[in-house]
């Protein structure tokens, strides 16, 4: 073998055993390499660029705005399909003859599906592609949600909502990862925060559309046991943002960063060139970029990605997850999961019942100043005493307005969090928000003024919800890069399990133990706040 200095005259002793043809081939190869290096010695290193450096060269432009809108609409359809059930459970209570426990099960069905499948979709997004996962999962959720419109049986409907949850888990676990990989580090945090605004927009969209649709008074008798009523029309409206996003997504490229990590360098270059043409009107070659620097992939990843065995896939998932359950990450990771569960328990769990509770409170016709629990108890007593009267699924205008106010508060919270966190820091912001939420929740046991009840209720639900994204960013900082996606995914999975538990706790306890229910939620928030104090975030 020839030495690296390019000399063709000096031979190592071991080369004396080579055949003549081998020596000739090596010498000719060396000549070609030498020639190239003489003509353009700097070519190879100059043609390789880091992905983020290329994004800097291209600049923030049309592609980034389109990505933000598309991923924002995917987050909206996630909120529509889950939080929209808080309206549908009320509007369908006469058709399905549901009790409070039945409503809790209906609310939780989608979240159970999301919890079971979010990690699977996250794994598939790392191995097959983020865009592919977003397309197939959103289309699947749209299909099964549309089918659920025409189901007359309660348990079959609940099962279909569970199946919708299995598919909607795709956008839930992949949207942020897909979106973040089209931005430089300095833009990423700001963009992800703006993407979170679509969560609040979705929470405004849900009651606003319901208010428009459910004020219609019509019914279509399909059969003796099935009448098609306006609440079923809510489904296509809730799916509309996802349909628009899916259509646009078909024209968008796969994440170049993911393609590089999978060793698909040419495809990654093509995707970046697509971005470059949309943003600048030029090709990458015109910017002096001909090759992207490949990213290193763990050898264990390569080994298992080649395997088609189900056992190897499960083993791969376990091997990648196991470091999170060992030192030095296990303590902080478990605290994050516990706090995330508490946040979802209090925020999402109660938000699913917000419209129901406000609808009961607004039914107080005698004008007496009562606490929220006294109003709930009174409305429950009225429904028992009037059990012989026809069922009513009317939703008051005040309930719609209060739900819209809740969504607007989420938008304001996400908009302000960037300012507040720069002043007080992430940890102090989370602790202060959680303390305020716990105090408002506890105060609901004694407040009697209707306006104060709404304000304190909204603050109680909003604060932990806004802190979810802050804690998620804290998880990212507590684990190394190769564990971050899995850590965030598992953390959110456990968090959503908390929302299922919280929703069912309310369904079981609210009518009989109302004060205890609000005290329990306040205690959960306070314990989560104390645990945050331990975290080095």
pLDDT digits (tens, 9 = 90+) for 445-499: 888 888 888 899 999 999 998 888 788 778 877 877 567 667 777 888 888 888 8
> Lowest mean pLDDT: which of 12-16, 34-38, 322-326?
12-16
Residue 69 has pLDDT above 90, yes or no: yes
> Lowest mean pLDDT: which of 181-195, 245-259, 305-319, 392-406?
305-319
The three state secondary structure string of 175-205 is HHHHHHCCCCHHHHHHHHHHHHHHHHHHHHH
Q: What is the pLDDT of residue 388?
A: 53
Domain 327-379+394-537 has CATH 1.20.1250.20: yes
> Lowest mean pLDDT: which of 86-95, 212-221, 289-298, 393-402?
289-298
Once rounded to an integer, what is the mean pLDDT over residues 271-283?
84
Once rounded to an integer, what is the mean pLDDT over residues 80-102?
88
90-128 b/e with 16+ CB inside 10 Å = b? bbbbbbbebebebbbbbbbbbbbbbbbbbbbbbbbbbee
What single DSSP character describes residue 14?
G
Q: In 3-state terms, what secondary structure has residue 150? A: coil
User: Torsion-angle region of residue 352: left (phi > 0), alpha (psi -120 to 50) or beta?
Assistant: alpha
141 confidence band (pLDDT: 50, 70, 90) = very high
Residue 159 has pLDDT above 70, yes or no: yes
Residue 42 has pLDDT above 50, yes or no: no
**Residue 523 tokens, joined:** 């205690």
The residues that bridge with 371 in the sheet, in sequence order, are none
Residue 365 has pLDDT above 60, yes or no: no
Once rounded to an integer, what is the mean pLDDT over residues 392-408?
85
Higher model confidence: residue 210 or residue 186?
210
- Matching CATH topology for 63-250 and 327-379+394-537? yes
Once rounded to an integer, what is the mean pLDDT over residues 434-451?
90
Higher model confidence: residue 264 or residue 302?
264
The position carrying tokens 């949207």 is 175
Once rounded to an integer, what is the mean pLDDT over residues 70-77?
91
Task: Give me the phi and psi of 291, to 5 degrees please.
Answer: -155, 140
The DSSP element (H or E) to which 228 belongs, if any, is: strand 226-228
Once rounded to an integer, what is the mean pLDDT over residues 162-180?
86
**Residue 94 tokens, joined:** 């006469």
Higher model confidence: residue 49 or residue 280?
280
Sequence ranges of the domains in the chain: 1-41, 63-250, 327-379+394-537
Once rounded to an integer, what is the mean pLDDT over residues 425-449?
90
341 confidence band (pLDDT: 50, 70, 90) = very high
Higher model confidence: residue 158 or residue 126?
158
Residue 502 has pLDDT above 80, yes or no: yes
Higher model confidence: residue 502 or residue 362?
502
Q: Which CATH superfamily is domain 63-250 in?
A: MFS general substrate transporter like domains (1.20.1250.20)
pTM of the model as a whole: 0.77
């Amino acid at each position: 073998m020839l030495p690296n200095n390019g000399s063709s005259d000096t031979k190592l002793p071991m080369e004396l055993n080579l055949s003549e043809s081998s020596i000739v081939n090596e010498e000719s190869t060396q000549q070609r390499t030498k020639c190239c290096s003489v003509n353009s010695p700097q070519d190879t290193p100059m043609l390789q660029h880091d992905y983020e450096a290329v994004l800097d060269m291209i600049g923030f432009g049309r592609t980034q705005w389109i990505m933000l809108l598309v991923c924002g609409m995917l987050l909206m359809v996630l909120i529509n399909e889950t939080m929209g059930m808080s309206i549908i459970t009320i509007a369908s209570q006469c058709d399905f003859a549901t009790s409070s426990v039945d409503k809790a099960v209906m609310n939780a069905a989608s979240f159970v599906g999301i919890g079971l499948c979010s990690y699977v979709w996250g794994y598939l997004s790392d191995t097959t592609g983020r865009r592919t996962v977003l397309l197939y999962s959103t289309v699947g959720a749209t299909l099964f949600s549309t089918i659920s419109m025409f189901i007359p049986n309660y348990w079959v409907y609940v099962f279909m909502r569970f199946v919708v949850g299995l598919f909607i888990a795709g956008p839930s676990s992949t949207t942020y990862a897909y979106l973040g990989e089209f931005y430089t580090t300095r833009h990423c945090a700001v963009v992800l925060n703006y993407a979170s605004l679509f969560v609040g927009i979705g929470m405004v969209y849900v009651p606003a559309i319901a208010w428009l649709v459910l004020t219609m008074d019509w019914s279509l008798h399909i059969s003796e046991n099935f009448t098609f009523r306006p609440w079923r029309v809510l489904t296509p409206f809730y799916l509309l943002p996802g349909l628009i996003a899916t259509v646009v997504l078909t024209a968008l490229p796969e994440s170049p960063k993911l393609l590089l990590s999978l060793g698909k360098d040419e495809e990654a270059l093509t995707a970046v060139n697509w971005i470059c043409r949309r943003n600048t009107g030029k090709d990458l070659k015109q910017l002096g970029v001909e090759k992207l620097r490949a990213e290193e992939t763990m050898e264990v990843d390569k080994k298992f990605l080649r395997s088609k065995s189900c056992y190897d896939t499960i083993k791969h998932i376990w091997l990648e997850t196991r470091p999170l359950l060992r030192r030095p990450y296990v303590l902080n990771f478990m605290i994050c999961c516990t706090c995330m569960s508490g946040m979802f328990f209090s925020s999402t769990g109660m938000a699913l019942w917000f419209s129901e509770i406000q609808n009961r409170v607004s039914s107080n016709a005698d004008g007496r100043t009562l606490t929220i629990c006294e109003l709930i108890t009174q409305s429950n007593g009225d429904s028992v005493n009037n059990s012989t009267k026809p069922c009513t699924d009317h939703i008051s205008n005040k309930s719609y307005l209060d739900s819209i106010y809740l969504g607007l508060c989420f938008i304001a919270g996400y908009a302000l969090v960037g300012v507040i966190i720069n002043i007080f820091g992430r940890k102090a912001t989370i602790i202060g928000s959680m303390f305020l939420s716990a105090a408002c929740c506890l105060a609901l046991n004694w407040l009697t003024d209707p306006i104060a009840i709404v304000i304190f209720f909204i603050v109680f639900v909003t604060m932990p919800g806004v802190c979810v994204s802050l804690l998620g960013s804290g998880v990212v900082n507590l684990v190394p890069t190769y564990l971050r996606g899995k850590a965030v995914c598992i953390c959110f999975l456990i968090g959503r399990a908390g929302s299922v538990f919280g929703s069912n706790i309310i369904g079981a306890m609210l009518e009989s133990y109302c004060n205890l229910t609000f005290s329990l939620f306040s205690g959960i928030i306070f314990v989560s706040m104390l645990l945050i104090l331990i975290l080095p975030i």
